[in-house]
Structure 1
């Protein structure tokens, strides 16, 4: 029995829709829709009828059904949309339809094919994420999807038919775009069709942005048509740009770090020597070739700053003449002076020779220079500069290298200068210590040596075994050695006063020729004894100089004694006093031992002797010339020594300036001590001396001269003696226990002021300084004598006090 007709007409159990190729239809079509079932039933029914009646027996009814198929699909499209329309129109292809039916269906569906394609494409374009722009062969826009509207900012209707170039192509690329279209039109070839490229596009407002572009040509036998797929890569480009920026920054940082490491390495190759404890000369000698190699220059020069505001070339490579001549450059002048003044690096790619101070830079034809200041904190140490004989542009890293090297060189130079100063100070201290040791040994020798004959002859005199001649000789030897010791002590005291700056000078007009002639006569006996000729030549009309007579006599005595001492028998000493336009020149020239070139620079130094060994041939402390130099300088003069070498004599020249203003007193002539102007026989003398031996010896001298002497040992006893019987003359020591001589004379003058009397007073003291003398006179003494005291000098001073009474103090005849 046959199945119901409706069942045969619409088999929807899935027998034919279970195949893989029908899966699309099952997903896309609503199979429960009556309209869909109607269409499918028509297709399936046609198949069964064909099978029953044969391909050639198809009746008019079947043809009518086939003719109605497009209308059915069209109705379905109106309800379900163009996507469903397309599926329905192609559904028969996937179903078991006889070939003849397929041909009929194809013919029936032909009127719907183009509308169905357009509908499908519109759906796909609107769903696309990238912008899709189609253009015809003339370059006018034929399609502009929704993504393109969003991307470019134009509505589709506004751009359709407009030239693509004026809508999306930036002005800078339009000419290139037009040439590409023209090339394709003529040759059919294009560099961009089928390629993926990155290029700039333009939005509606004119803003450019990066895009990724793919252009294809539509497959057609008709006019060319093009489709462009455009993707906005602004975000990707920003990410890439940021990545490139970070990569570039990383590479730059790495390169900078590597450059810094290389710079440090190069600086280290220059300045590692600067870290060592080298002397300044060794340091400079080591640094110059290193700097030259590091910078590949022809010259390297280091100048050091001086206190007078100049730069002095201390070391040079390639410009050795500058260093040899110690060229000085004022700060602010020339290339190096400019660097020092501005305290910054200076580079001259082309040297202007008219502005270069050093002529050696011109002579060497240096074309390019680069220099840096050498500073430590804010202190200018010097300048370092390099040069090239060829025109050269110094790179920034080379200047930085030079500056870094200069900073470390400056520290090294300052450290070397300090190191050298410490080393010199240590060497000088050690030399001074050795000199002082030698000097103290000499002092011990010079002081002890005279004591031997003094003690020996004293012992012989005490024994009473000497005849009259021998006794006289003994006394002469004792006197001579005592005076020698006194001279040594005076020299020591003078040096002490000079070192402490306590030398007192009484400046008056002094006739230097008179001083010289007097001292020549004093030295002449010793010269004659040694067989040395002594000659004096003095210019006429020599003006007085300003000076201290006693100190000038000491200067002349030291120079003369020194010349006589070092001149052998048969030699000669010439003394010349010469008038100069602005002063007076004293020259002492001998034909004696001479001075070695090594010792000549030290001839006026304290405690220095050319021969301080135990085998030396000449005695003395070696202080005379040092004292003479200081005294001459205190007079505003200068002194110099010259010698052609050992065994060729020596010359000492002192120059004294004429006084700039008129001095208060008339010129005073310097004479030797005069004999007493009157006898002290019967004079009443009060002697105050705490030392027993000194008191007894002075007492004996005074009593031998006929004086009536009262001798006491203290100031208190002296005041008691004055109260009982005022003396004619008071002779008092200064340094005493309890009240000293100053306190005594002040008390005496106070009593005298009340009574109206005045006792002449003479001070005796072992304190032999000029300030001691001034203090004694200011306190109330009229005369002052320094110990040791010669008898004739003592008697003469007392006689003068007795003659003048209590008149104003006078200049002493001797120290």
Structure 2
């Protein structure tokens, strides 16, 4: 909570500072009206206490004769007024005076030279500054707090500005007192006053005749702040009006009119154009000196508040950037698709950073190039087509390599990398890039570029990184959603196939079982026991159906073992002739083809060498493919051809048939476990749908591949490609590396 309060205090600081300066300006202006010094100082400490929300305020003035600092006015230390005197160089106040600089003390209990009075009062933290005009020191002002407090640099600068004004006001009041006591010293006091106002570092003191619209006194600081000679201020007609910023001119002239017509002091902020073209911010306070027959006389002080305005503007810009990132994040949470979110992101970066070019580069699957996926400012045909190399000699590639934000103020002088062709073609000079993370690897790079040299600030890179973080979260969420959707689809498909399997298997199991049960019952019938021919036929039918049932059960077990990874552990490798294995398989299945009147062909390739493989698994693969071809071919032929591919170091087996063929929509799923081609009246189911999934797993276990080409009505061709040697599988440690 305390951190949040400090952040809020930091955001409000520039606005508060301007309000404080306005109050101090009004105090300084009152010194132009002949006030006594004590009246002025007592009024001042109350104002300073409100400005800093302090528990104590003290103004100590130098006694030249005794070289001591006496408390002249105080808040929270009133009893010390005119009683305490601190030798120069002693205590906190004496240290500030002797060192001639402001001082921040976070904890007085740790400072040896701290004043006992401050400790007795319970002051823990203190901020102090010397009172001086030019090199003339006249005292010290300090504010204190009973609780620990860290005074910031902005507060230090503010107190220094106040001390400067107080020094001027104090000296001015003294001059008035001196003039009151001795009219003879009036001219000397006037010269000293002029010297004092000329010594103000950040303010221009001026006097003007509003009726004649001309200045008749301007302090010399005017030339240092704005660059125009004082003589030009005094002699050029309507000098002030001509140098006012066009956007502020009308308002400033109205303030002058109100001052003259109402007679009340006016305070306002405005800009003036300096001699070098800069816009300089001022806080101006002015009072009406008098109206005579000869003119309408005004005097005022214009304080340079450009640094504070810059802080205020930067604060507003940061708040706008933070709000923009939050809004983008909200849109991402609401489900905006990634492509739209990317386009919104690059437009947001271009607007908030006021840059000509923004980009999102997506790392392509090959890892060698980045594609310009979204952007602002690029040539019309660049987005979606332009690519950047991922090598570290480009800013984007360097960002991928370093995995940290990268800023370049001038690509022409950059030594870490060169400008990519995309940047060169658009005359980019400055830029910054950050990484967009992904789940398993970086998604890409987010960048902002300008055609003029620009020094990007730390706040800019924080903003760009914030946008990249929103994109990272959106992309990861999209990837997770896609993965979940895919897994859900796969699970649903697996359940569907298993349900179909249960239906198919139950039917396939029931058919041979019913036959076995039926023929077994007939064996008990006395009529058949006396007929040897009938008895033998029933025994053969029981045997055939038992073999069919065993084959079905073995296939189901094979699929379960392969899916569990057990098959990979039982390979028995030895030199095998694929030609011999295929020839034997054709010979063994010839009777099956003869029963259907099919022509069985074997075409060898004498150049095919022996390979290192598992003969039992190879036999199962060939038997499955050839028996399938016979099963689904009603007329024509089944052919087995050996092809040697020496350039790939492989031996191929092609099993072709003239059967009914396979529909195009079934081909991608043909080797999936439990998948079964949809049956028709003309082509009913003839199997379990497990044989081809077993073939695929076995072929892969042997280091090979299997594919199919088919056309309905024209038959099918299954091709198995087996390597000379089965590749060795990497162990887990090498895979991790």
Q: TM-score by structure 2 length?
A: 0.51
Higher relative strand content:
2
| 1:382 match | 443
Partner of residue 642 from structure 2, selected from 572, 577, 585: 577
Q: 1:516/1:377 Cα in 2 relative to 1: closer, same or farther (>3 Å)?
A: closer
> Are 2:398 and 1:338 equivalent residues in the alignment?
yes
Q: Does 1:439 align with 2:505?
A: no
Question: Aligned partners of 1:356, 1:458: CA distance in 2, in Å?
Answer: 87
* Equivalent in 486, 492, 497 of residue 550 of structure 2: 486
Distance 1:298 1:552 in 2: 61
Choose from 629, 642, 664 the match for 2:709.
Answer: 642
Q: SS where residue 479 of structure 1 aligns?
A: helix
* 1:283 is aligned to 2:338: yes
Which whole-Å deviations, capped at 9, do the CAs of 1:399-430 have from their partners, x for residues lacking one? 76544322210111112112221222222222
1:537 to partner: Cα distance: 0.4
- Aligned-partner SS, 2:219: strand
Report SS of the residue matched to 2:638. Answer: strand
- CA distance, structure 1, for counterparts of residue 575 and residue 526 of structure 2: 52
Q: Identify the residue that residue 28 of structure 2 maps to in structure 1.
A: none
Whether 1:547 and 2:609 are equivalent positions in the alignment is: no
CA distance in 1, matches of 2:555, 2:344: 54
Q: Which residue in 2 is equivalent to 1:556?
A: 622
Q: 1:425 aligns with which of 487, 507, 521?
A: 487
1:521 paired with 2:587, answer: yes
How far apart in 1 are the matches of 2:373 and 2:183? 77
Correspondences of 1:331-730 after superposition (within 5 Å): 332=392, 334-342=394-402, 343-345=404-406, 361=422, 366-368=426-428, 372-375=433-436, 381-385=442-446, 396=456, 402-466=464-528, 468-503=532-567, 504-567=570-633, 569-581=634-646, 582-611=649-678, 617-643=684-710, 645-659=711-725
The Cα of 1:516 is off from its aligned counterpart by 0.8
User: In the superposition, relative to structure 1, how do residues 148 and 572 fare at CA in structure 2: closer, same or farther (>3 Å)?
Assistant: same
* Distance of aligned partners of 1:496 and 1:395 in 2 relative to their CA distance in 1, 3 Å threshold: same
The 5-angstrom pairing of residues 23-42 of structure 1 reads none
SS of the counterpart of 1:609? coil
Q: Which residue of 1 aligns with 2:121?
A: none
Residue by residue, what CA displacement relative to the aligned partner does 1:308-330 show, whole Å, maximum 9, x if unpaired? 75566494578999997897954
1: CA distance between counterparts of 2:350 and 2:725? 61
Q: 2:434·2:447 contact (CA, 8 Å) conserved in 1?
A: no
Q: Given the superposition, is the C-alpha separation of residues 614 and 570 from structure 1 closer, same or farther in structure 2, using an over 3 Å criterion? A: closer
Q: What is the alpha-carbon distance in structure 2 between the residues aligned to residue 638 and residue 295 of structure 1?
A: 52
Q: Deviations over 1:269-321 (max 9, x none)?
A: 6444321346xxx4224532563476377885441476x75566494578999
- Residue 303 in structure 1 maps to residue 362 in structure 2: yes
Could you say what secondary structure the match of 2:434 adopts?
strand
Q: Distance in 2 between matches of 1:509 and 1:316?
A: 57
**Structure 2: distance between partners of 1:564 and 1:303:** 52
Query: Any conservation in 2 of the 1:300–1:319 contact (CA below 8 Å)?
Result: no
Deviation digits for residues 477-518 of structure 1 (CA, Å, limit 9, x no counterpart): 322221111111221222222222222122111222121111
Q: Secondary structure at the match of 2:639?
A: strand
Distance 1:597 1:429 in 2: 23
User: For 1:169 and 1:395, how far apart are their aligned partners in 2?
Assistant: 35
Residue matched to 2:321: 263
Q: Distance in 1 between matches of 2:697 and 2:626?
A: 17
Partner secondary structure for residue 444 of structure 2: strand
1:732-771 matches, cutoff 5 A: none
Q: Residue 127 of structure 1 is aligned with which of 158, 181, 201? A: 181
SS at match of 1:381: coil
Question: 1:557-593: CA deviations, max 9, x gaps?
Answer: 11112222233x2233221112232232111123334
Deviations 1:513-557 (A, max 9, x none): 121111112222222333433211011143222222211110111
Q: 1:169 to 1:483 in 2, by over 3 A?
A: closer
- The secondary structure found in structure 1 opposite 2:609 is coil
Offset, 1:357: 7.2
Tell me, yes or no, if the aligned pair for 1:438 and 1:612 is still in contact at 8 Å. no
* 3-state SS of 1:594 partner: coil
2:726 and 2:186 map into 1 onto residues whose CA distance is 111
The answer to whether the 8 Å contact 2:178/2:185 transfers is no
C-alpha contact 1:340 1:382 (8 A) present in aligned 2: no
CA RMSD of aligned residues (A): 5.0
SS at match of 1:428: helix
**Aligned pair in 2 of structure 1 residues 532, 289: CA closer, same or farther (>3 Å)?**
farther
| Structure whose CA Rg is larger | 1
Matched, 1:274 2:332: yes
SS at match of 2:443: strand
Does the 8 Å CA contact 2:350/2:357 hold for their aligned counterparts? no
1-structure distance, mates of 2:636, 2:340: 50
* Cα distance change of structure 1 residues 378 and 605 upon mapping to structure 2, 3 Å threshold: closer
* CA distance in 1: counterparts of 2:555 and 2:574, whole angstroms: 23
Q: Deviations over 1:21-62 (max 9, x none)?
A: xxxxxxxxxxxxxxxxxxxxxxxxxxxxxxxxxxxxxxxxxx
Which stretch shifts more, 549-558 or 341-350? 341-350
Instruction: Provide closer, same or farther for how the CA distance between residues 451 and 660 of structure 1 changes in structure 2, counting only shifts above 3 A.
Output: closer
| Residues 242-294 of structure 1: per-residue CA shift (max 9 Å, x gap) | x998966764454334323432444356444321346xxx4224532563476
Distance in 2 between the 1:610 and 1:393 partners? 67
Cα 1:267–1:150 shift into 2, 3 Å: closer
Q: Distance in 1 between matches of 2:537 and 2:651?
A: 42
Change (3 A) 1:350 1:502: same
Label 1:382 to 1:367 Cα distance change in 2 as closer, same or farther (>3 A). farther
Paired residue for 1:665? Answer: none
Secondary structure of 2:651's counterpart equals strand
In the TM superposition, residue 366 of structure 1 has moved relative to its aligned partner by 4.6
- C-alpha distance in structure 2 between counterparts of 1:554 and 1:379, whole Å: 40
Number of residues paired by the alignment? 449
